[in-house]
Every structure is written in C-alpha cells, then in structure tokens.
Chain A
Amino acid sequence: MRVDASSIPSGSRLEFDLCIVGSGAAGITLARRFASTSIKVVVLESGLDEYDPRTQALAEGEIVGLPYFPLDTARLRWLGGTTNHWGGHCRPMAAEDLEARSWVPNSGWPIGLQDLEPYYERARIECRVPSKLWTLEAWQEKDSHKPLPLVGQRFVTRIAQLVGRESRSFRVAHRSELASIANVAVHLGANVTEIETSENGTLVTRVHVATLGGQRYSVTARQIVLAAGGIENPRLLLASNRQWPAGLGNQNDVVGRFFLEHPRFTAGYLAPSNPHLRVGLYDDHSVGKAKLQGYLSLSKEAQRAEQLVGVEMLFRPTYVGSFEQALESNDVRELQAVMNAVRGRGGLGDFGRHLANVVADLASWQSILIPGAPLPVPFPEVVGRVMRSTPVEAQALIPELMGDIVAGAYAKTRGAPIKEVRIRTRIDPAPNPDSRVTLSDERDELGMPRVRLDWRLTALDHHSVRRTMEIFGAEIGRAGLGRVRITFDEGGRTWPEDLAGGYHHIGTTRMSDDAKHGVVDRNGRVHGIENLFIAGSSVFPTAGSGPPTITIVALAMRLADHLKGRLA
C-alpha cells in the first residue's frame, strides 16, 4: 500500500509493528519478507516515486577529507534508494572477507560465512543475478575468456556477475508489488527527523516524520530498523540526541566512525609482450545470459604473507590504431543506443526509441548493410578480400573493410592487438576510526543537521596497492607476458587524482559483539537500545573484496528472520 505522507494530518501518531526507515535494497528486501503476514509494517521513504530535487537536496553535505562525490549525488532519496543508480555488480563475501586479520586493525566480523550462506541464494534471486555460479572454476568451461597465464600461485581470479541494467532498480522491480501488499504501508515523502527514546534511552518510543509540505507526524512501532544508507543512518543516530547528547548508540563514540568505501583508481599500465594477450576476462563480458567481470587479486595466503589488505585489479585494454578508433566511433555508439532501444533498455521512452530509429537510419554504417539483413553484413567482395589474406593481413583489413561496428565487435570478442592495458585497482581498505561521518553546523530545509564526511585511507592501504602492483609486475615479467608500470604514486602524491569511490558507504554503524567497538551487535541491534536495528552496508565492519549489494540483501533477509522471532 502506497501512502503520500503529505496526506497524513500533522500531529498524527500512527502505530505499526515494524517501522523501516528507507526503501533501498535493504529496506525493500526487509519489507517484502513480511508481505502477507499479520505484522503491520511501515516503510518511511524520504523521497517520492521519482527524483525530486528538493528532496535530494536534503542529502547535501560537506566533504573535508579525501575528495568524494557531492553527497547529494552519492545517495538517492527516492523509492528504491541508491539501487536507482546501481552498477549491478554482485559477488558474495568470501570466508576470508569476514575473518579478523592480525595485521589489519579493527578487521573481522562477529559473524562468519556460515551465517550468510543460507541467505545468499535467495539474495541472488532477489537481486536478479542470472546464474548460481560464482567461481572461476565453475565458469571456465563456458567462458571463452581465460585467466592470465601467470606462473606463480600468488594471484587468484575472482568472478562477479552483473545484473542486467533493466533489473537493477529495486523501485522498478518492486513498485507494483509493494503497492499491492496490504500489511505493508510505504509512506513516500516521509522524512525521518528524529528517533525518540524512553527517558532512560533504552527503548525507541517514537519516530518523528516531516514532509517538505510542512506536515509533522510520528510513528510508533515495536521494532524499528534504520535502512537509510551508510551516511544517513549515522546522521539519524547522531541527530537524535534528546536523551543521549552524543546521539543514539554512541555511548562509545563509534557512530559515524570507520567510514569505508571501495576506493578505485588507475594504478598502472601493462605493456604486453604479445599484442594478442587476452585480458577480456577482466572486463565486462557476456557468457550466455550471464554478464561477468573478473578481478585479479593476491590470494589470501599471499595477503597474509605480505601483511596487506586486499587489492583487486581489473584491466582495460587499449587496442592498436583503428580497432581502438572503432570502439570509440559514433557508429558503435549509435548502434549501442539502437540496440538498447530495441531491447527496451535505458530511459529513452517511446520518443527516444523513435529518435534512435531516426539516428540509426542516418548512421554511416547503414551504407555497408545488405538491405534486409538483420545485422551489419559486409558485401561479398569484402569477404573475398579478407578470405584471400593471411590472418595478420585480414586482421589489419577488418577496420578498413568492414567498418567500425565489425571491428569493434572483433576487438571485444576475438581480441584485437593490444597496445597497452590500463590497470584499475579497487581496495578493500583497513577500517580507520578517523574516517568518519559527523554532523555539521549547517541544517537542511527540515532543520536536520547536515553531515560532514571526512573520508580517509591509511598507510597500510597505500602500501598494499604499491606492493600488490610490484608483485603483479614481477609475476607478469616472470611469465613473459610483458612489463608493468606503476603510476599511482607518481608525482609525490599520496593518492592519484582519479581516486574515487564506488558509491559504497560502509562501516559507519559497524557490527561488533563488543559495544566499545561497534554500534550494532551480530543481529544488527543497536547496543543499549532494545528495539532499534540497522540494516545495510553501514553495519559491515570491513568493506570486503566484493561489491556490497548482494550481502546487504542477504543480511536484510537474516535480520527479517530475527525480527520475525521478536515480533511473533
């Protein structure tokens, strides 16, 4: 059931069994687990059914640490939350991602893989990941792309799956269903401004809600779950300081600390010995209906031996001359747009699809089409010239004779000659208490303090990237595959200019069995408060080697099971 919060009279006090703040991957997953039960659920979503600039401006904040995305672009405040710009990469955590590592301060989860595994398969379905297969071994027979033929055993290849673009938004996937569930009310435009507790601060008694239209009402519930993301969750706790001056759950000054991202940047280049080196496994590629992305990283054993945090590498080849031009050509872009339109992908709408048809009609690649053929097919004389050529000559002729589309497809699928390979790295950084979200002196339109983000990385993170690249350079040389250049620390900079995050906001309400070191316990309950829980990646103690979404969903399912017990 969908409710426009602005239709609720000011001063109302609504009662539910379960109140969920936020409707992103965690909030929607949680709510759906209670569908058609006797539990009365309310989901309080700040935004509406689509982007609204006034609501989005509530997410603005200050950046004082490492450069970061403007905060109002890093969090999306409308139904579906940040899944509305999700990149779609999924990979479950590995056992080692959750283990404490003596050389990484503050590492280790209070739960193990055995606690998540029962939920990962259902989370895969929830996230609409096409295949059950997660390992390189499982894909090797099906995937024509192979791992780098390194000689040593220090590197391993991990596989992530990509969810199709059309399936990524939880808003698109679940909007209709949510509207039809009688026992789940989704309040749109409902901004939570305070979580009020009992006098002794151990029980949440009310959740205060405000709309941009000026209404103010409150919700009471037996159990409350914050699922508003890794920046908004600590903001709400810190701003709810009526009984606890330092904020809820913050008796040990942990709320907002340990902000983690998956920092990524170009760390170097590989000059291949053989221009036909194949690195397609480490780029987005399709295998049947699945879309995969390989990552190369040091094995668990090598990380331990070297005392490093995890650094994953993926490769972006630059092809020689005309092949690279082909990949960047307007023809290829136009074809891509047309194909997306034909497949109903993207946000073109009907008008856009018609426009794409017109663009396609005028594209220069039409001149090489055989009328009526379903795909760009070269004229017979072109095929003849290629057939009469040696393989090397034929490859050189492809861009010239067949046009950019065929050349681009050839480069992607068969592996055109590579000029160089850019090495992109992604870090699973060390938890750092000085990397944090705090409240600023500024206030938003509703009077809520804005946040200040001080994102920091550690010397161990930096050393780990450099050392991983050195080892990679040595392994590449040893295998005779080429030579590696490390660029990320050139020019005396600590971090490269292209340092960015992945819109992953992690760790700010971290999980620990010890209240001194965490905000929530192993079940996601805020230490010291009987009925307040947190869902989402803000409870991750470490970022892990993989993207967070599937684990966010698995943890939300686990929390739902826990709450069903409490609400029974």
Chain B
Amino acid sequence: MNAPRDLSRREFLLLAAAFATPLVPLHAFFETFSAPPGRPPSPAGKLVGLLRHPASARVIGTAYLEAIPAEADAPILVDAIAAGLEGGPAALRADANALRRRLLRRIEHDFELETTVRLQGWIVSRTEARLCALATLKLG
C-alpha cells in the first residue's frame, strides 16, 4: 500500500467516472492499438481493450504499481487476472462481452472475499486494480 495522499478533485472525478461506467469495450481504439491487422489481439490487449477511459485507468494503475511494484510486469498481471476468472486462463479466449462478464463476476467476488487493495484511500478490487495496472504498462 502506498503512502496515502489526498486525491485531487480531477483525480476524484476521473476515478468516479471510471467506476460509474460499466466496462464497455472500445474496440476501435484498443484493439487497433494492441493487435496488428489480421491477427487476434493478445490476452493483454483483450483485457486492456475492455477499458474505455485510459486516462482513468492510468491513474489507478499507477497507484497500484506504486503500491505493489512486484507486479509491474504485464505477463504477471495477465496471469494473475486470468487465474481468478471463471474458467481460468481459457477465459481469455472468450469474446469481449463474455470476458467482461467474467471480469465483473470476479470483481464482485473480490469484494465478497475482500480481495481488495487500498489505493489513495479507495477500496479497489484487486482484479480491477490489476487490470488498470496492465493498461498502464501497455499504454505507457
């Protein structure tokens, strides 16, 4: 867990916007970014492609990576996310909607089991934090 500090109003609004919005795919942006034409997106690209507010994801992802620097590695994050999904790593082969549903179930389950992390005071599901961290690494 990182040293607590106040979120700026802008960060707060970004965070609120991120959580207030369902995980909706933005294929046009992310899938183009993550996969060369004609090739299926990588697992990391598929996961990151589910996020539609990259700036928000970066705020959360950066905070997570500051708190848990050992996970600052895309394959580690993909494995950790996939391991928690219903169906395991194979779930990453599902289409975007099915993958999103599984992630949402996993996030709900994280909260039920309190598999959470406190980032700048916010109680965040470990899976959603990892997803944002992955986006931070992939998007730079």
Contacts and interface: CB of A to CB of B under 8 A. Distances in A.
Contacts of A271: 12, 15-16, 19-20
A10 B16 CA distance: 70
Nearest to B113: A474
Nearest to A484: B123
A268 B124 CA distance: 14
B121 A483 contact: no
A275 interface: yes
Nearest to A470: B123
A118 interface: no
A555 to B, nearest CB: 40
Interface string A211-240: 000000000000000000000000000000
A274 B20 contact: yes
B118 A272 contact: no
Q: Among B16, B107, B120, which residue has the most Cβ atoms of chain A within 10 A?
A: B16
A346 interface: no
The number of chain B residues touching the other chain, given as a range, is 20 to 34
A112 interface: no
Interface stretch (B1-9, B25-33, B66-74, B87-95): B1-9
B4 A474 contact: no
B123 A486 contact: yes
Contacts of B121: 268, 485-487, 490
Contacts of B122: 473, 483-486
Given A268-B121, A483-B123, A474 B16 contact: no
B108 interface: yes
Given A271-B12, A271-B15, A474-B123, A490 B5 contact: yes
Contact of A482 (B7, B19, B107, B125): B19
Contacts of A471: 114
A330 interface: no
Q: Among A275, A480, A489, which residue has the most Cβ atoms of chain B within 10 A?
A: A480
A477 B111 contact: yes
A478 B114 CA distance: 9
B127 to A, nearest CB: 11
A477 B20 contact: no
A384 interface: no
A404 interface: no
Contacts of A470: 114, 116, 118, 123
Interface string A460-482: 00000000011101111110101
A247 B9 CA distance: 55
A272 B123 contact: no
Interface in B86-107: 107
B114 A273 contact: no
A473 B125 CA distance: 10
B124 A483 contact: yes
A385 to B, nearest CB: 28
Nearest to A471: B114
Interface string A110-145: 000000000000000000000000000000000000
B6 A490 contact: yes
A114 to B, nearest CB: 37
Interface string B118-135: 101111110000000000
B113 to A, nearest CB: 8
A486 B124 CA distance: 11
B19 to A, nearest CB: 5
Interface of B: 4-7, 12, 15-16, 19-20, 107-108, 110-112, 114, 116, 118, 120-125
15 contacts: A271-B19, A420-B16, A470-B114, A471-B114, A474-B116, A474-B123, A475-B111, A477-B107, A478-B111, A483-B15, A483-B16, A485-B7, A485-B121, A486-B122, A487-B121
Given A275-B20, A474-B111, 9 more contacts: A469-B123, A470-B114, A473-B116, A474-B123, A475-B111, A478-B111, A484-B123, A486-B118, A487-B121
Interface of A: 151-152, 268, 271-275, 419-420, 469-471, 473-478, 480, 482-487, 489-491
